[in-house]
Structure 1
Amino acid sequence: MRRRSVAAAVAAATAVAAMASAGSAASVPIGPGCPALYVVGVQGTGQSSPGADPLADTGMVGALLAPVLAAAPDLVQRSYIGYSAGFGGAVPGGGAAPYAVSVIEARRQLDAAVTQIAEMCPATMIAGVGYSQGAQAISGFAADVGAGAGPIGPDRIAGIALYSNPDRAPAGPTFPGRPGQITPDPAPGTSGGAVSGVQITNPPASGGGIADGHIGYGALTGRVADICTDGDLACSAPDAAALLRIGAEIAAQADLRDPVTALGSLQAVLSGALGDAWTTVVLNDFHVSAGNVDYVPQLSLADRLLEAADPRSSVAGERGVAEGRWNEITATVAANPIALLPKLAGQLSAAWGQLVADNADLANPGVWLRYADTVARHTGYAASGQLNSGIAWMVALAHDIAGSR
């Protein structure tokens, strides 16, 4: 007990000294002293703002973290990332920033927060909880940390809980990379005794995240839970609905504050995406040799369009090269149209047929019955009790970490 008291005093002194040196730049509320576990929450669209109170237990994430704090007040501290939480101004409560810009803002604030916590409290483990747009920001953070490219090392992360993650992998298990696992891996450096009693048994969801940016978690595999309600369009979109995902990616980059502005913004984003898709198809899927042209796609048209619509990728700088390649293609076809045009027509027709197949769910009424109450499913994680296992997990992590000291 005496050793623990000394350790607590040293941790508290370290935190106070760090806060004093940081001065007004210290934006993460820490104290008194450093906890065993610090949980950072990132709310969903419309549930935060740049000036939001970092200690206010509101929104979906607040419904999870408030009980955690109540159950282990001496072991856990928490705060929330304040960011635009916007969807182009179209969602009440959210800022005017396009969704893609808002996610980048959340990620930037998250990186800064965990860096500050890690520096101010060297013995504290960090956990993350994100919902919807916030889950997408934390998902990218966890992927980078797991790959060794994040702002802190994977040994500082106790666990990551994602709810309604738009980047969820198609038919992904609760623990990505660990099909069938229901109990989280222990926090690094702990026995995992308390965590071993936690089971995350939320029913599996079909489909995948509407953002289609599924990723792996490297060294964090087993400590990242991706929880989704079947029929929640954000994380359980139909498999064969590429155009739906493309539309979501385009809308995520647009200014949607009013109909006139939205129309112009959507047109500009769509034009850019189609230009990028054309560039990648011309440079990667057409093969030109002496007197011959073939369309041999390395990716389907749906995948090319999804890739081009993703705000995280751009090939605009290669369009000049693609124009030169296109001129070469058309010149080769013009020199021998009788032989080449029928062959290319057949190849392109097969690609079009694949595009139709990749969107077959859009024309299936049975599929859309799953989404009749998608808003209720997206917002019902607390009411349905699906946050309970996350609450138990965070509390168990705190006890394991405290017990390991």
Structure 2
Amino acid sequence: MRKLLMAAAALVIIVVIVLGISRWMSSDPGPAPAPNGPVAAQPEHCVDVEFISAPGTWESSAVDDPFAPKANPNSLMLNVTNPLQQEFQGQKVKIWTLPYTAQFRNVNAQGEMSYDDSRNEGTAKVEQELQSVHAECPQTDFILAGFSQGAVLLGDVANKIGVQGGVIPPDRIRGVALLADGRRVPDAGQFVGNPVAGVGAEVALEPVNLLVQPIVPGATMRGPREGGFGTLNDRVFEICAPDDTVCDAPRDVINGVARARQLVEANGVHGMYLTNPNVIPGTTAPEWIVNWARDLIRN
């Protein structure tokens, strides 16, 4: 009888264990833990780095070839992109030049696209390029560099990414170089070269925006970028030649109309960045950008 009871008890224990295992196996285990391994590789055709160049006013075209721009053979940014293209040809580096209208309606050129419309067009195209490449190639990093109107719109893109976290993640931006930025202020970004006392023309002329409209219709003087460059602040570099009234304009609202006229007249300093030795000691602005971009690409 004792052995029979012990056998029955053992059988009960076995049944309980089997039922418990069965219930555990049929229950919902919940979400699987995230893998700790590396992120899956992106498509083979994706590049490691894309360099985006934004030419200045009258140095581009909405129908230009972004891989072989010919709209203006004297475009300042070609002195940056051509050397990079030659050096990194055949490597996983993409050089892309923004094709946009790049015009600036003023009293002397009433038939051109307004500055606001031209800048907005360029901004939208850059953001489209960033978003489409990032969607297909999420591990590709970007370097941005622009001159004059191109610097303004790339600065706006950097502002949106660094402050709002939009367009693409901030960690995909390796660096931004803004040459003659019309919205430059001393406390946003890192300044390179000889010091300047003024600010960008859009900042200096913001208080008299309505007064300058007859001279530059459709060119809104928007002032500084709200929030600066946010998380990108240490990766954004501002370059401005002393006395270039596009980026080194005096805060002189009394002479606002005169300052606006300077924007549409020949500005010798603004057009001399290729050779001006008084911008960055020991080099020129385009050479500095090439060396800076080369280091970012290699590292």
- Same fold by TM (over 0.5)? yes
> How has the CA–CA distance of structure 1 residues 383 and 178 changed in structure 2, closer, same or farther, with 3 Å as cutoff?
closer
Task: Identify which of 94, 106, 115 aligns with 1:77.
Answer: 94
Measured after TM superposition, the shift of residue 71 of structure 1 is 2.2
1:223 equivalenced with 2:239 (yes/no): no
Q: Map 1:205-220 onto structure 2 (within 5 A).
A: 205-212=196-203, 213-215=223-225, 216-220=228-232
Q: Would the aligned equivalents of 1:72 and 1:398 in 2 still touch at CA under 8 Å?
A: no
> Residue 53 of structure 1 aligns with which residue?
65
> Alpha carbons of 1:245 and 1:135: their partners in 2 closer, same or farther (altered >3 Å)?
farther
SS in 2 for 1:122: coil
Task: Specify which of 124, 127, 145 is matched with residue 111 of structure 1.
Answer: 127
Q: Secondary structure at the match of 1:383?
A: coil
Q: CA distance change for structure 1 residues 242 and 387 in 2, over 3 Å: closer, same or farther?
A: farther
Q: Distance in 1 between matches of 2:295 and 2:155?
A: 22
Shift of 1:89: 6.9
Specify which of 115, 120, 125 is matched with residue 136 of structure 2.
120
Cα shift readout 1:324-369 (whole Å, capped 9, x = no counterpart): xxxxxxxxxxxxxxxxxxxxxxxxxxxxxxxxxxxxxxxxxxxxxx
- Name the counterpart of 2:288: 389
* Structure 2: runs of 5 or more not aligned: 1-37, 204-222, 277-283
1:242–1:396 Cα change, 3 Å: farther
Of the structure 1 ranges 129-138 and 94-103, higher mean CA displacement relative to structure 2 is found in 94-103
Residue 91 of structure 1 and its aligned partner are, at CA, apart by: 7.7
Q: TM-score, normalised by structure 2?
A: 0.68
SS in 2 for 1:130: strand
Change (3 A) 1:63 1:151: same
Matched, 1:88 2:100: no
Structure 1 residue 34: deviation in Å?
2.1
Which amino acid in 2 is paired with 1:43? Answer: P
**CA distance in structure 1 between the partners assigned to 2:182 and 2:157 by the alignment:** 14
Distance 1:177 1:375, change over 3 A: closer
Query: Residues of 1 paired with 2:195 and 2:172: CA distance?
Result: 29
Matches within 5 A, 1:3-402: 11-13=42-44, 33-57=45-69, 58=73, 59-73=75-89, 74-88=91-105, 96-169=112-185, 172=186, 176-177=188-189, 201-212=192-203, 213-215=223-225, 216-241=228-253, 243-244=255-256, 248=260, 375-384=267-276, 385-400=284-299
Structure 1 unaligned segments of length 5 or more: list them: 1-6, 14-32, 180-200, 257-372, 401-405
- Aligned to 1:45, the other structure's residue is in SS state coil
Q: Is the 8 A contact 1:47 1:85 kept in 2?
A: yes
Q: Is the 8 A contact 1:233 1:374 kept in 2?
A: no
Task: Decide which structure has the larger Cα Rg and report it.
Answer: 2
Superposed displacement of residue 148, structure 1? 2.6
C-alpha distance in 2 between matches for 1:52 and 1:395: 25
CA contact (8 A) 2:245 2:262 kept: no
- Looking at structure 1, the residues matched to 104 and 138 of structure 2 have their Cα atoms a distance apart, in angstroms, of 36
How far apart in 1 are the matches of 2:173 and 2:94? 15
For each residue in 1:98-157, what CA deviation from the matched residue of structure 2 results, as whole angstroms up to 9, or x when unmatched? 111111111111111111111122211011111101111011110110013431110111
Q: Percent identity?
A: 26
Take 1:62 and 1:88, find their aligned partners in 2: how far apart are those partners? 24
Higher alpha-carbon deviation: 148-157 or 100-109: 148-157
Q: Which residue of 2 aligns with 1:299?
A: none
Dislocated runs of 4+, deviation >3 Å: 10-13, 89-92, 245-248
Give aligned pairs, total: 228
> For residue 150 of structure 1, what is the amino acid of its counterpart?
G
Indicate if the aligned counterparts of 2:62 and 2:101 stay in contact, CA closer than 8 A: yes
Higher helix share: 1
Cα 1:156/1:397, change in 2 over 3 Å: same
TM-aligned CA deviation for residue 239 of structure 1: 2.2
What CA distance in whole angstroms lies between the structure 2 residues aligned with 1:83 and 1:89?
18
Q: CA deviation at 1:378?
A: 0.7
Q: Is the 8 A contact 2:51 2:95 kept in 1?
A: yes
- Provide Cα deviations, 1:47-103, integer angstroms capped at 9, x if missing partner: 1111011122551112112112222231421111111111127788x9821111111
